[in-house]
Amino acid sequence: MENGSSAELLRVGFSIGEPGGIGPQLLLEFLEGEGWQEAFIPVVFGHRKVIERWRNHLGLRSLRYHLVRSTAEAKPAQLNLIECGPGVDFPIGKPTPEGGTLARESFCTAVAQAQAGTLDLLVTLPVDKSSFFHETTFPYRGHTEYLRAVYPDTPPLMVMVSDGLKAGVVTEHIPLRSVAEQLTADQLRWAVQTLKQGLQADFAILAPRIAVLGLNPHAGDGGLIGTEESEWIAPTLQALREEGYLVGGPFSPDGFFGARAYQQVDAVLALYHDQGLIPFKLLVGWEGFQWSAGLPFVRTAPDHGVAYDRVGSEAADRSSLAAAVWEGLAMVRRRRSWKESQTEPA
């Protein structure tokens, strides 16, 4: 495809994340490579000082960027930069308050563009929650929490994705002691419904099989180690099954993963963060990515954090970012086909 066919290329927006973290390094190294130029147009939301600082640090002096005022001005085969956030110096490998401000402004600007329909895919680079969170101006500890505030009636669900395992989490960045207090039957029902609809639209799985994990060890062990499973988790799942959902559980988490039962279903729904992410990252490493199910646009992200210990080193693995981009583009196309199939006359 030649540059003249730019109208056919998808536009992929990148929020810059924590400027001192590994995100900008992975992105610039990815865009310095080959293969993407004929597939999509990259639009980066950040500040020129971030690009210049990292370009010099990595020795990527041949990598050029172009300032544009809008996604409509973005051109193929080049890094298009929409400038936002403070233009300040920052240390590589450390968080700063200014870096958190830039990460917030970049993310919010990119989300606004995705909402406006000017981006086909939004890829968010890792943030440092210590600087990203701001008690008064940005009381959200992560990307998904903000997106849930933007879409309170149809909140997204965080799902970790790989070829062999898709793991969603009902509750995310909250203390473990708060999990049981915040979980409700309605929340579980919402999560199952959102995951099912997302798997249908974005992965073309017509009848998704979903496994739900229990809250307590051994899924409560018949009430000996907790009663949530018998009181409301199992009844909620039974009601969903009666409505036609292919949902099983609650399963004992250790036995479920120990028996590799996740290979028999299309997705696993964990009830809290570590219950889903620890087995996912042990099984997948940096080869998976994160997906927000339930959004009106496709949003993906690497499945790792700022990784200060790998910044500037050859250990900086681009696999997760690449998966977020390439699989995200595939999801955009599948969603378009799904929408077309839903509007076609029977």
Domain ranges, ordered by start, for the chain: 1-154+295-307, 157-293
Looking at residue 86, what is its pLDDT? 87
CA dihedral defined by 277, 281, 282, 283, rounded to 10 degrees?
100
Q: Residue 3 to residues 37, 68, 78, 328: CA-CA distances in angstroms?
A: 9, 17, 11, 22
Spatial distance between the Cα atoms of 22 and 311, rounded to a whole number of angstroms: 5
Where would I find the H helices in the chain? 22-32, 48-58, 97-115, 129-132, 143-150, 176-182, 185-203, 228, 234-242, 253-258, 273-284, 319-343
Looking at residue 6, what is its pLDDT? 62
The CATH topology of domain 157-293 is: Isopropylmalate Dehydrogenase (3.40.718)
Tell me if the domain spanning 1-154+295-307 has CATH number 3.40.718.10.
yes
Spatial distance between the Cα atoms of 184 and 17, rounded to a whole number of angstroms: 32
Instruction: State yes or no: pLDDT of 10 exceeds 80.
Output: yes
Instruction: State yes or no: pLDDT of 143 exceeds 50.
Output: yes
Residue 171, token pair as written in the block = 């509750």
Looking at residue 286, what is its pLDDT? 83
Spatial distance between the Cα atoms of 26 and 328, rounded to a whole number of angstroms: 17
Spatial distance between the Cα atoms of 280 and 276, rounded to a whole number of angstroms: 6
Residue with tokens 């999801």: 331
Instruction: Write the pLDDT tens digit of every residue in 31-55.
Output: 999 999 999 999 999 999 999 999 9
Other CB atoms within 10 Å distance of the CB of residue 132: 25
Instruction: Write the pLDDT tens digit of every residue in 79-107.
Output: 999 999 888 889 999 999 999 999 999 99
Cis peptide before 250 (omega within 30 of 0): yes
Spatial distance between the Cα atoms of 168 and 269, rounded to a whole number of angstroms: 5
pLDDT band at 30 (very low <50, low <70, confident <90, very high): very high
Report the chain's mean pLDDT, rounded to a whole number: 94
Instruction: Write the pLDDT tens digit of every residue in 201-216.
Output: 999 999 999 999 999 9
Cα 287 from chain centroid? 13
User: Under a CB-based contact definition with an 8 Å cutoff, are residues 28 and 62 in contact?
Assistant: no
3-state secondary structure 60-121: CCCCCEEECCCHHHCCCCCEEEEECCCCCCCCCCCCCHHHHHHHHHHHHHHHHHHHCCCCCE
Looking at residue 2, what is its pLDDT? 39
Instruction: State yes or no: pLDDT of 346 exceeds 60.
Output: no
Give every strand in the sheet of 289-293, ordered side by side: 65-67, 79-83, 40-46, 10-15, 121-124, 298-302, 289-293, 157-161, 166-169, 267-270, 209-213, 246-251
Instruction: State yes or no: pLDDT of 163 exceeds 60.
Output: yes
Instruction: Write the pLDDT tens digit of every residue in 244-282.
Output: 999 999 999 999 999 999 999 999 999 999 999 999 999
Cα 186 from chain centroid? 23
